[in-house]
Amino acid sequence: MKLDEFLRLNAPEDLAALTAAIAKTSIDVWDSVPFKSGLLTETNPSGETQKAIDVYSNDAFVEALTSTGLVAEVASEEMEEPASSKGSVSVAMDPLDGSSNVETNNPLGSIFGFYSRKLPASGRRLVGALYVTYGTMVTLTFSFGKGVHRFVAVREGGAMPFQLLGVNLRLPDKAEVYGFGGSRREWVPEVAAFWHSLEGKGLRNRYCGTFVGDYNQVLSRGGIFSYPALVKKPRGKLRVLFECAPMAFINEQAGGYASDGSGNILDIEPRALAETSPLYIGSADLVREVENAVSKR
């Protein structure tokens, strides 16, 4: 089954159109990575150096989304202020997750959250979420609140339509992998102790430095991903609106749980677009175990 047919049968009309726009643009972004990987002198609102591909992907997705006429605003990691339009859905996005991996040819991704109200907003206001994985294949993984589904781009002549790869994806009962970001020297003691326990549980360390790539392994194999609270950065690194909440929404639909160390990520009411949070996401039992340890600090 092709993506357009699946969306027509299973998605609200506005979310179907937005997903189709993202799918089409994701192929353009994937094709452009080899040609737009030089560093620019500008920095984004978080003070990070932007790459040409960051700017290109941001602009491409903003244009694709606003041109549908269905978005009220598009907020991005790469923009100081949201781009406004006349629709009803607010979109928060990380247009190119893991762009530091470009030179080493590791996986990249894009993350999108579809919110029912003006941003910033709680993850409970999400009506859908989607992430793109750019690797040996381009895949879309998404949920509109009724299961998690995945499509893969398949070359057909000069086009690359998305074909169904899996429906109603669930985290496996047996956890196999884990990946933790940040310097180990900066982890709080409870996180370090939990991390050390995982090998004893039979899990294998898998970390590539791209949230989407690392989480994609967790969804396929079961386990946990974290960018945890750090000694000098207790609110972590990942942004609630752009990264944490959309991925938590998908993860919950797959039977998992995502926490900030004290409660559900989806319950956070961010007061700023770029607000960050520690994140522990994946198989529910593992996330609750580390949440129980960290919450006692």
CATH label of the domain that carries residue 18: 3.30.540.10
Percent of the chain residues past pLDDT 90, beyond the cut: 78
Q: Which residue has the higher pLDDT, 238 or 208?
A: 238
Residue 286 within any structural domain of the chain: yes
Residues 31 and 97 placed together within one structural domain of the fold: yes
* 206 or 257, which is more confident: 257
Q: Residue 288 has what pLDDT?
A: 98
Of 118, 137, 166, the domain-final residue: 166
Per-residue model confidence (pLDDT) at position 33:
75
For residues 37 and 94, state if they share a domain.
yes
Higher pLDDT, 7 or 158: 7
Domain that holds residue 242: 177-294
pLDDT of residue 66: 96
46 pLDDT higher than 80: no
Where residue 43 falls among pLDDT bands split at 50, 70, 90? low
pLDDT of residue 45: 57
pLDDT at residue 40 greater than cutoff 50: no
**Does residue 104 sit within a domain?**
yes
Is 215 in the same domain as 241? yes
Q: What integer pLDDT is reported at residue 274 of this predicted model?
A: 94
Residues 127 and 242 in one domain: no
Residue 157: the pLDDT is 84
Average the pLDDT over 55-80 and give the result.
94
Q: Are residues 138 and 194 in the same domain?
A: no
Site of tokens 């529910």: 284
Q: Are residues 114 and 40 in the same domain?
A: yes
Q: Percentage of residues in the chain with pLDDT exceeding 70? A: 92
* Mean pLDDT for the stretch of residues 76-97: 93
Q: What is the pLDDT of residue 243?
A: 97
At residue 41 the predicted structure's pLDDT band, cuts being 50, 70 and 90, is very low
- In a domain, residue 193? The reply is yes
pLDDT of 36 over the 70 cut:
no
pLDDT value at residue 104: 67
Contact 212, 133 (CB under 8 A): yes
**CA–CA dist 225, 218 (Å, integer):** 7
Contacts of 107 by beta carbon, 8 Å cutoff, 6+ apart: 98, 101, 133, 134, 135, 208, 210, 212, 213, 216
Q: What is the pLDDT of residue 208?
A: 86
Q: Are residues 32 and 155 in the same domain?
A: yes
CA pair distance 146, 223, nearest whole angstrom: 22
Per the domain annotation, does 28 fall within a domain? Answer: yes
Q: Are residues 219 and 120 in the same domain?
A: no
Which CA distances in Å does 247 have to 1, 7, 67, 132, 232?
25, 20, 25, 11, 25
Number of domains, the chain:
2
Q: Is 10 found in the same domain as 147? A: yes
Q: CA-CA distance, 116 to 122, in Å (whole number)?
A: 10
**Is 132 a member of any domain?**
yes
Q: Are residues 15 and 55 in the same domain?
A: yes
Residues 101 and 148 in one domain: yes
- Of 178, 172, 274, 272, give the one whose Cα is nearest residue 228: 178
Q: Is 171 inside any structural domain?
A: no
pLDDT of residue 38: 56
pLDDT for residue 39: 42
- Dump pLDDT digits (tens) for 184-204: 899 999 999 999 999 899 999
- Is residue 59 within 8 Å of residue 83, measured between CB atoms? no
**Domain CATH number, residue 219:** 3.40.190.80
Q: Which of 120, 135, 166 finishes a domain?
A: 166
228 and 270, same structural domain? yes
